[in-house]
Amino acid sequence: MTERANTHRFQDILLVTIGTLGDVLPFLVIGRRLQQQGLNVTIATHEHYRGKAVAYGLAFEPIAETDLQQFTAHEHAWHPELGVSVAVDKLLLPMIEPVFELTQRLALGRNVLTLAHPHALGARIAQDLHKFPLWTLYPSAWLFQSVHARQAYPRVRMSSPDAHGHTPLRHRLLDWLADRVLGKAELKPGILIGRKRPLWERRFGRSLFKRVSDDMLAKPVNNLRQRVGLPKIEGVLTTWCHSPQKAVGLFPSWYAEPQIDWPKHHLLSGFVEARSSAPLPEDLQAFLNDGDAPIVFTFGSEKLDNQAAFEAAASACRSLGMRAVFISADDEDVPTEQRGDIFFVRFAPFDALFQHVSCVVHHGGMGTASAALRAGIPQLLVPYSYDQPDNAVRLRGLGVGTTLAPGLFDREHLVAHIRALINCETVQENCRRYAQCIRNDNALEIITREISTALRPQNWK
């Protein structure tokens, strides 16, 4: 009886995540599984996701003073060169202190294990201050950086004036160098440093990313740290954001091979599947049953202003003689002229939909990519920014897809890329092979087992 009582002392899990649905959904899936195991689970995130949290049966805590639409509705939120700065200014920085305060309030005074997104920087500050158990969970692999593996970084325009109207000389030089070497960001949104490049070049790339990300984030992070009595840190996104206790990659080792310079105490679980129990909408199911397998076009759960992209997609489908499913949360994205071979839907569960389609054209988000891998369908990747260029490089390396720069997203390029994808037997074979690999993953079981072990009283320090 005493052992049972001790075991049940540790029953609380706090999930802290920020960002778009691809950053939130894996936490919801993990939270539901942990709740099914008898744990008390609370998720703290944007008010925008309250309904989804409730649908997953989780207690919900909104992160105060944050509005996801400040980021998603910004005209440059998905720009290949300006998007990162928008995300930092409208999403990451405004949330540092609210996340810190919320994590302090919910994680202290009782034995709670906190599972946080690495971009929830306030949670890491709270951990450094109070030393409570906190693991970082990574929906994609791009922050697991290594000088020993292929690495893709997003393009960042640094030369916008600061609050005093000044532009540091080093920022202007970095932008000039990027433009001269790489060309327009719309045509090359990511900076790829291959495994076969000289070691000095790979180290330079990582050092440059550290400098750029610290220029954006280190000062506000350190301002809060100093106010609460903590020393300054550097390497915000290269070293410090990783929990010193456990860093959990929500992807398998065949997707991103572990490296010796990855975070210490890392664990790879495999992809977390957001399986839906609801059937597809009846009208969508009827469309799927009424002809050949269509192409799916989607550009992310929160991306707006996709009218031009969907118009190009509709034109490409007419040239190919293929049907399509367009997915967007914005009704204004629907092309003004549609034929019966294009179906528009605001949302559809990918696990059910992708069983009926020939390929998917998408932005390179990890949730869409892993669902396509699981379904065994080719992917045409159109990466804009953030983790998307890195995801695209990894998927292309697996031989399951190809990449099209946003600046080349037109009828002619779409027709050529889609035709090559669906007619390439090598791509089809790779898709089948990795679909089998992903079906053998047991991510939720691995995470549940690891957490169950950590929650044993003798393992708490």
Mean pLDDT, all residues of the chain: 88
Q: How confident is the model at residue 29 (pLDDT cuts 50, 70, 90)?
A: very high
Per-residue DSSP letter, 91: I
- Residue 276 covered by a domain: no
Q: Is the pLDDT of residue 181 over 80?
A: no
- Could you tell me if 262 and 144 are in contact, meaning their C-beta atoms sit under 8 angstroms apart? yes
384, 357, 240: which is closest to 294 by C-alpha?
Answer: 357
Co-location of 332 and 399 in the same domain: yes
Co-location of 79 and 164 in the same domain: yes
- Residue 56 covered by a domain: yes
Q: 455 is written with which tokens?
A: 């929650």
39, 42, 37: which is closest to 9 by C-alpha?
Answer: 39
Per-residue DSSP letter, 234: -
- Residue 225 covered by a domain: yes
Instruction: Identify the pLDDT of residue 69.
Output: 82
- Residue 277 covered by a domain: no
First to last CA, the chain: 23
Co-location of 289 and 375 in the same domain: yes
DSSP run (H or E) holding 40? strand 40-45
Co-location of 319 and 215 in the same domain: no
Give the three-class secondary structure for 452: helix
Instruction: Identify the pLDDT of residue 5.
Output: 33
Instruction: Identify the pLDDT of residue 273.
Output: 87
Question: If you average pLDDT over residues 446-453, what whole number do you get?
Answer: 89
378, 419, 398, 138: which is closest to 269 by C-alpha?
Answer: 138
* 419 backbone dihedrals φ, ψ, rounded to 5°: -60, -45
Share of the chain above pLDDT 70, in %: 90
- Residue 221 covered by a domain: yes
Nearest 5°: CA angle at 20, between 409 and 356?
Answer: 60
Co-location of 289 and 156 in the same domain: no
Q: 190 is written with which tokens?
A: 């990511």
Report the C-alpha gap between 243 and 387 in whole angstroms: 19
Co-location of 135 and 83 in the same domain: yes
DSSP 321-352: T--EEEE-S-GGGS-SS--TTEEEES---HHH
Report the C-alpha gap between 96 and 98 in whole angstroms: 6
- Residue 144 covered by a domain: yes
- pLDDT digits over 185-243, tens only? 888 888 888 888 888 888 888 888 898 899 899 999 999 999 999 999 999 999 999 99
Q: What contacts 388, CB < 8 A, 6 or more positions away?
A: 154, 189, 190, 363, 364, 365, 381
CATH number, domain of 14, equals 3.40.50.2000
Beta strands in 229-351 (DSSP E): 247-249, 266-268, 295-298, 324-327, 342-345
Co-location of 435 and 445 in the same domain: no
Co-location of 325 and 421 in the same domain: yes
Co-location of 430 and 450 in the same domain: no
Co-location of 40 and 163 in the same domain: yes
Co-location of 375 and 323 in the same domain: yes
- pLDDT digits over 228-273, tens only? 999 999 999 999 999 999 999 999 999 999 999 999 899 999 999 8
Provide the number of structural domains found in the chain.
2
Report the C-alpha gap between 62 and 269 in whole angstroms: 27
Q: Is the pLDDT of residue 104 over 90?
A: yes
Co-location of 111 and 169 in the same domain: yes
Domain that holds residue 291: 282-439
Q: What contacts 81, CB < 8 A, 6 or more positions away?
A: 155, 156, 157, 185, 186, 189, 385
Instruction: Identify the pLDDT of residue 159.
Output: 63
